[in-house]
Structure 1
C-alpha cells in the first residue's frame, strides 16, 4: 500500500476529536462538583442564557463550585506537566534518529487513553479524581505540544522554500480551527440530546482512525540508516548539546535574535493558553450562565479565528514584514481579552471573538522566523526547544490562571482576562526591542547565517 506525505488529515481528525472532548471536560467536572457540593442535580436549561434565581445561597454555592472546578483544573494541569515536558524532549530526541512519526503516534495514543478514561468515569460514574491520574498517564506519551511539534517538524522536513514553509504551517493551524469549530457546534447539540457518554465514545472512535492512519498510511520523512541510530539516552544527550550550541555558538546577533524570538513565543503562548483555559468556566458563571448549546457555539466561533488568521496572514504577508504581522496578532489578543473581562451579556461574549480574528497569526510567523535564523542542520534542535517551551508555558499558565481564577471569582471573575491583557505587554515590548536592534529583513537573516559560517539559504524569503 502506497503511503502518503500528508500530515493535514492527522491534524484535522485530531482537532475534531479533541474539540469534541475539550468543551465537555470542564462542563462534566462542573456538573459533578455541583452535585457533590450542593447535593442537588445540575439545573437544566434550554438553548438560552438563563441564570437560576439570584438568591444569596445560590450565589454562594455557584462561587464555591466555580472555585472547586478551577482548582480541579489546576491539579490536572500540574499532574501532567512534568511527564509531558520530559516525554517531549525524549520523543523529539528520538525522532532525529528514528523519524518524526514517533512524535506524532505516541501523543495520539496518550490522547486516546485520556478520552477512554473520561468515558469510563462518565459511564460508570467513578471517582472524579481518577481523571487527574488519567492526565498523568496520558502525559507519559507526550502532549498536544509534542504532537504539533512533530507535525511542524514533519512540515519543515518536506519544505525547502521559506514561503512554502510558512504557508503550510499556517494551513496546519487553519485545519485545527476549521475542524475544531465543526466539532464544537456538534458537541453542544450532541451533549444536549444524549449526555456525555456518546460524545466521549465518538471522539475515541475518531482517535482510533487517526492512530491507524498515522501508523499505516503516513510516510516517514526522515529515513535513517540503522547503522546511524543510537540509544535514546545518547540521542537525548546529543539533543541537549545541539540545543546548547544553538545559543553558545554562532554570531552574537544570531543568539540574541533566537533568544528573543523564543521568549516572545513562550510568553505569548503563556498568555493565550492561560486565558483560553478559563473561558468555559467564565461562561458557566453568572451573569452569563451559558447552556451547553451556547458553549458549543462559543467554542466554534472561537476556533474560527484559525481560519481568519490564515487569511489575514496570507494577505498581510503580501505587503507587511513578519514583525508587523506578529504585532497585529498581539493587538488582536489584547483587545479581545480586555473585552472578555467586561462581557456581561451573551451578545457581548460573542462579539469579543471579532477582535480576536487575527490572534493565531503570530504563532506560525514566529515559528517560521526562528526556523530561518538557524541552519538546516539545527532544525531538529530548534523545534525540540520550541516544543519544550510551548509545553512548559501552556501547562504552567493553565495551572496559574486556574489558581488565580479560584481566588478572584468571588469579587472579579474577569480579573484573569485583565491580567492576560497586561501580560501581553511583555511580548509586545520584546517585539519592539527586536524591531529596533534586529529588523530581521531577508538580508539580515542571510547575514546572521553567513556570520555563523553557514551558507545562507537561496530560497526566496517570506515578505
Structure 2
C-alpha cells in the first residue's frame, strides 16, 4: 500500500514539497537587471561628463553645446551596445530553445542566467578597476552568446505555460510579468541611492554593481539547485472529447477568449462547412502585431533615458532611478487590467491587446510634449496598460501550438522582437540626435504612430474569429 493510500494527506503534501516557483528567479534576475541598467547609464554619463568637463576647461564653450556633445556620445555608445545585445543572441538562443524542448526545460534559463552574471561582473570590474568603457561591449557579447534575455524569457514563458491551464494562462503569464515589474520597481528605486554610496568618480557605483552581481548569483543557483519543472496541466478527457467532437471550434473559440467559464453541460455540434480553424493565419497576424508594437516600445524606451538627462528635465541620479521605477508601475497596472478586463468584463484577448496599444500610443504622444517632470509622470500614467499586448499575444499563441514546441516558438518570437528592436534602437538613436536641435519629441511621435498601426493586424484577427465567436455563442444559448 502506498503512503498516499495509508495517509490521505501524504500525496498532496508530497506534491507541495517538490513544487517550486519560477517567480524567485524572475524577481532576483530583474532586480539585478534594473540595478545594472541604471548603473550602466549613470556610469556612461559620468564617463562622458568627465571628458566634457576636461574639454571645457581647455576650451570654454556654451553649456548647451557641451550637453549636446555628451548626449551624442552617450547615444553613440548605446547604438553599439544595443547592436551587440540584440544581435549576439541570434547565434545561440534558438539552439537553447531547441535543447530545452528536447532535453530539459531549464537549459535556456540556466545558461542565459550565467550570461547575465558575466555581464553584471563586467560592470563591477569596470567600476572597481577603472577599466575602459568599451569593456561593456564584451560583457554584452558574453551575455548574448549565452542566450540573453530572448532565451531566458522564452524559458520562463514555457515553464509558466506548462504549469497553467488554458483558461488561466493569460492571468498566469501576466502574474509573472507582475513579479518582474515589482522587482524592477524596487531595484530602480534603490539604484540612484546605491550609486551614490561611495563618493568620488573612480568608485561611484561600486555598491550598486556589487548588489546587482549578488542578485544574479542567487537567481543562477536557485534555478540550478532548487527550481523544478512543473508537469504539464492537460485538459480533462471530457474536454478533449469535446474538442474532437467539434473539430477544433472550441479550441479556436477559447484560444482568444481564455477566461470564459467552462460549460460542460452545453451540447455542441460541428461548425458549418467551410469554417476551418485559422490557426496559421492567426499566428502570423499576432506575430505582425507583436513586432510592430515592439518597434514602438523599443523606440520609446531606448530614447527615454537620454531624454530625461538633458534639458528641459536634466535629472540627477536619484531622479533617474525614480523615473525608471515609474516605468515598472506599468507591470502592476497591466496585471490589474488583465484581471479586471477578463474576470469582470469578460473581454476577449484581442480587445485587451487593443486597449494596451491605445494606452501606450496615447502616452507616447503626450511624452513628445513634456517640459516638466510632473508632465513626464502623467505621460507614464497614461501608459498604464502598455504591457498587456505582448504578454497576451504570448498567451494566445501558447494555446495554438503544442507544449512540446513552446521553447522553439517562444524563442523565435523573442528573437524576432530582439532583431527588430536592434534596428529600431539604431534608427531612433540617430533620429534623436538629428532632432535635438529641432523637435526633440519626434521619436515619441513616431512611436505613437507605430503603436496605433499595430492595432490593424490584431483587428484582422478579431474579424477572422468573429464567425467562430458568433457560432459558439449561438450554440451555447
Same fold (TM over 0.5): yes
**Map 1:144-183 → 2, pairs under 5 A:** 144-159=149-164, 161-183=165-187
CA distance in 1, matches of 2:467, 2:293: 19
Q: Are residues 1:72 and 2:97 paired?
A: no
Do the aligned partners of 1:271 and 1:424 also contact (CA within 8 Å) in 2?
A: yes
Do the aligned partners of 1:71 and 1:406 also contact (CA within 8 Å) in 2?
A: no
CA distance in 2, matches of 1:284, 1:290: 5
Which residue of 1 is the match for residue 341 of structure 2?
Answer: 316
TM-score by length of 1: 0.83
Higher relative contact order (CA 8 A, sep 6+): 1
**How many angstroms does 1:86 deviate by?**
2.2
**How many angstroms does 1:435 deviate by?**
2.2
CA 1:293–1:410: 2 relative to 1, 3 Å: same
CA distance in 2, matches of 1:378, 1:82: 23
Which residue of 1 is the match for residue 20 of structure 2?
Answer: 5
**How many angstroms does 1:167 deviate by?**
1.0
Counterpart pick for 2:52 among 37, 40, 52: 37
Which residue of 2 is the match for residue 435 of structure 1?
Answer: 462
**How many angstroms does 1:441 deviate by?**
6.0
**How many angstroms does 1:24 deviate by?**
2.1
CA distance in 1, matches of 2:465, 2:174: 24
Which residue of 2 is the match for residue 461 of structure 1?
Answer: none
CA distance in 2, matches of 1:41, 1:393: 38
- Partner SS for 2:454: helix
In structure 1, the gaps of 5 or more residues are: 43-54, 224-250, 446-463
CA distance in 1, matches of 2:467, 2:353: 13
Q: What CA deviation, in whole Å up to 9, does each residue of 1:359-378 have, x standing for no partner? A: 11112211111122234454
CA 1:3–1:196: 2 relative to 1, 3 Å: farther
CA distance in 2, matches of 1:334, 1:307: 19
Do the aligned partners of 1:93 and 1:384 also contact (CA within 8 Å) in 2?
A: no
CA distance in 1, matches of 2:321, 2:417: 26
Q: What CA deviation, in whole Å up to 9, does each residue of 1:310-349 have, x standing for no partner? A: 0011100122111111111001101111111111111111
CA 1:444–1:427: 2 relative to 1, 3 Å: farther
CA 1:115–1:376: 2 relative to 1, 3 Å: closer
Q: What CA deviation, in whole Å up to 9, does each residue of 1:379-404 have, x standing for no partner? A: 34422322221222333322332222
Which residue of 1 is the match for residue 225 of structure 2?
Answer: 216
**Map 1:183-332 → 2, pairs under 5 A:** 183-194=187-198, 195-221=204-230, 253-318=278-343, 319=345, 320-332=347-359
Counterpart pick for 1:352 among 370, 379, 382: 379
**How many angstroms does 1:131 deviate by?**
1.1
Which residue of 1 is the match for residue 36 of structure 2?
Answer: 21
CA distance in 1, matches of 2:125, 2:159: 34
CA distance in 2, matches of 1:304, 1:3: 33
- Superposition CA RMSD, Å: 2.5
Which residue of 2 is the match for residue 408 of structure 1?
Answer: 435
**Map 1:127-146 → 2, pairs under 5 A:** 127-146=132-151
CA distance in 2, matches of 1:330, 1:371: 21
CA 1:212–1:82: 2 relative to 1, 3 Å: same
CA 1:3–1:32: 2 relative to 1, 3 Å: farther
CA distance in 2, matches of 1:356, 1:440: 32
CA 1:435–1:56: 2 relative to 1, 3 Å: farther
CA distance in 2, matches of 1:382, 1:116: 31
Number of corresponding residues: 407
State which drifts further: 286-295 or 406-415.
406-415
Do the aligned partners of 2:127 and 2:206 also contact (CA within 8 Å) in 1?
A: yes
**Map 1:361-376 → 2, pairs under 5 A:** 361-376=388-403
CA 1:375–1:209: 2 relative to 1, 3 Å: closer
CA distance in 2, matches of 1:425, 1:286: 29
CA distance in 2, matches of 1:18, 1:440: 44
CA distance in 1, matches of 2:222, 2:471: 41
**How many angstroms does 1:201 deviate by?**
0.6
